[in-house]
Structure 1
Amino acid sequence: MRYQSQLRPGSFSGQTHLVTGGGSGIGRCIAHELASLGAHVVLIGRSAEKLALVAEEIRSDGGDCSLHSLDIRDEDAVRDTVAAIVQARQCIHGLVNNAGGQFPAPLEQIKSKGFEAVVRSNLLGGFLMAREVFLQSMKTHGGSIVNITADNVGGMPMMGHSGAARAGMENLTETAALEWAAHGVRVNAVAPGYILSSGFDTYDPEFLRELLPGFRDSIPLYRLGEEAEISGAVCFLLSDAASYITGQTLRIDGGSSLKHHSPLWRPAPACGGNRFNGFHRSRRPQVVEELEAEGKL
């Protein structure tokens, strides 16, 4: 099997697209879809081992990719890596700023070091990648950037550091869209809601067992999303079909962000509608598999 994308085969043939955080989760899924559509995908992340495993998957599926292991918070490393990519590929057509991370904690317990680390991962790193890709390629050739943020509407209790960084990335998206439009560069953002991604594996399983069913119950579509439902939107925004879209944040959350504007609305179990998962190599987090087997998710 290969990735079952909703976009036309060959949509990105001859193009080079960078995906940060490409070694796992949503980034891995996006990298697979882009490669299935003909792009040369450059996988970027801190773990060379994880990147190598994804690269092996992509190549075994017939795709084309390369990889660079670095910390996107390191300005010199970002500059040198982008230079190496441009030298090898001549032009960068797309950048997906997906890398990031956080940990659950109330604001009163977050130390300055932890707060700064999350902001640097989710905001500074994305800025450095976007700036260098713009300066070294897109300023001359144009291109498209998609920043992955999060569902931070109405605040992010227990994730205040991440919410602040993601809000900053949304504003940065708008600023970059304005400043770089004259160079043919489009900049958009995608804000995922609760997605069935390997990112769940980084949290305490008991913490998730308690919270995940409640997450589902608060979503109008009454289910969590699939990685492929994020990837499809990202690939659309990178494609020529989105040529007149820039400076926008697309929320993919099953309607969960709408609840903040409807205080009288009370959720009720729903059918959830159609579910799309074209990613042939998708993997459920273990705690999610257990909850689904128990009928709790």
Structure 2
Amino acid sequence: MTDTFGSRILEGKVAFVAGGTRGMNLQIARRYAEHGAKVAVLSRNQERVDAAVDELKQIGGEVRGYAGDVRDYDQIDAAMKATAAELGNIDLVVAGQAGNFYAPAAEMSANGFKAVVDIDLVGTFNVFRASYDVLNKRGASMIAITAPEAVRPLNFQAHVCAAKAGVNMLIKVLALEWGPEGVRVNGISPGPIEGSWGMENVVSPTQEMKDHIGQSMPLRRWGTVDDVADSALFLSSDAASYITATILDTDGGAVISVPNTDKADKNDVRVKGRGHKVE
């Protein structure tokens, strides 16, 4: 647990973390719980939900878990209402769900493209919109997990680039519309994060590749799930009370420095043999 911000700065807050059962998003849920928040997590897999709830309860405080698909608005709406009924109206919302796989656009199915857009972009709207009716609006913080692909085109990532660019603009529009009510809307854009679901299951880098990526970045290292969780804690805290419509690049400089993204090689290890992986 980090002590950068002192202790229990979210005491009494209610947090909802979509995709919060593993990787970066689970670490965000842990960080919220460590700092006194009541936490609800959501994922499509009931077993992962149960495991995350059990772990978070060990930290202390009230915890709830729901199985649901962010692409189904009714399921998300029901989870939000249940959270508010059991824990109180919501103060902190994280839309952290993601889908990804590597494929050349000319070989990608329409369904594959749509699946990622539905999970990343439509899912973010569903999470934010469903939470809106049960928010403690004055002081509420919403965070979407976006990606460098939102602003940097990458081969084999047409679906992710399109979806995350939409997420970035959705963040800004909602910040504009909901700001007068006291709601802040921001994004976190992680770079290569050690132990994240995407890097472990979609990229599956070799040690050589990991070393190369790390040495290609200004800070010369991969990020950690703690780096992302601390960014979320900051954006959710009073220290960020005048910050909205901001995309916080928690990436060690990756968005400006990772080389060789212009080489479209269909034999790239990321493409060969990778299935349709979604969170």
| TM-score with structure 1 setting the length | 0.81
Mapping of 1:217-232 within 5 angstroms? Answer: 217-232=215-230
**How far 1:208 moved relative to its partner?**
4.4
Q: CA RMSD in A?
A: 1.7
Separation in 1, partners of 2:209, 2:114: 26
Q: Which residue number in structure 2 is paired with residue 154 of structure 1?
A: 152
Amino acid at match of 2:33: A
Which of 14, 17, 41 is the equivalent residue of 2:12? Answer: 14
Separation in 1, partners of 2:78, 2:126: 12
Q: Which residue number in structure 1 is paired with residue 117 of structure 2?
A: 119
Where 1:157 maps in the other structure, the secondary structure is coil
Which of 36, 39, 58 is the equivalent residue of 2:37? Answer: 39
Contact kept, 8 Å, 2:92 with 2:142, in 1: the verdict is yes
Separation in 1, partners of 2:76, 2:4: 32
Separation in 2, partners of 1:54, 1:239: 23
Where 2:6 maps in the other structure, the secondary structure is coil
The answer for unaligned runs of 5 or more in structure 2 is: 259-279
Separation in 2, partners of 1:223, 1:124: 32
Q: More displaced, 207-216 or 125-134? A: 207-216
Contact kept, 8 Å, 1:5 with 1:232, in 2: the verdict is no
Amino acid at match of 2:28: I
- Deviations along 1:96-124, one digit per CA (max 9) or x if unpaired, are 11111211112222111000000111110
Paired residues in the alignment total: 256
- Deviations along 1:65-114, one digit per CA (max 9) or x if unpaired, are 11111001101111222122222223100001111121111222211100
**How far 1:138 moved relative to its partner?**
4.2
Separation in 2, partners of 1:240, 1:128: 26
Contact kept, 8 Å, 2:100 with 2:202, in 1: the verdict is no
Structure 1 runs, 4 residues or longer, greater than 4 Å off? 207-210
Q: Which residue number in structure 2 is paired with residue 274 of structure 1?
A: none
**How far 1:257 moved relative to its partner?**
1.8
Q: Which residue number in structure 2 is paired with residue 25 of structure 1?
A: 23
Contact kept, 8 Å, 1:17 with 1:94, in 2: the verdict is yes
Where 2:90 maps in the other structure, the secondary structure is coil
Q: Which residue number in structure 1 is paired with residue 73 of structure 2?
A: 75
Separation in 2, partners of 1:114, 1:144: 31
Which of 140, 144, 147 is the equivalent residue of 1:143? Answer: 140
**How far 1:142 moved relative to its partner?**
4.6
Where 2:133 maps in the other structure, the secondary structure is helix
Distance 1:71 1:129, change over 3 A: same
Q: Which residue number in structure 2 is paired with residue 235 of structure 1?
A: 233
What is the percent sequence identity of the aligned residues?
A: 32
Distance 1:130 1:189, change over 3 A: same
Q: More displaced, 45-54 or 188-197? A: 45-54
Q: Which residue number in structure 2 is paired with residue 104 of structure 1?
A: 102
Separation in 2, partners of 1:126, 1:102: 15
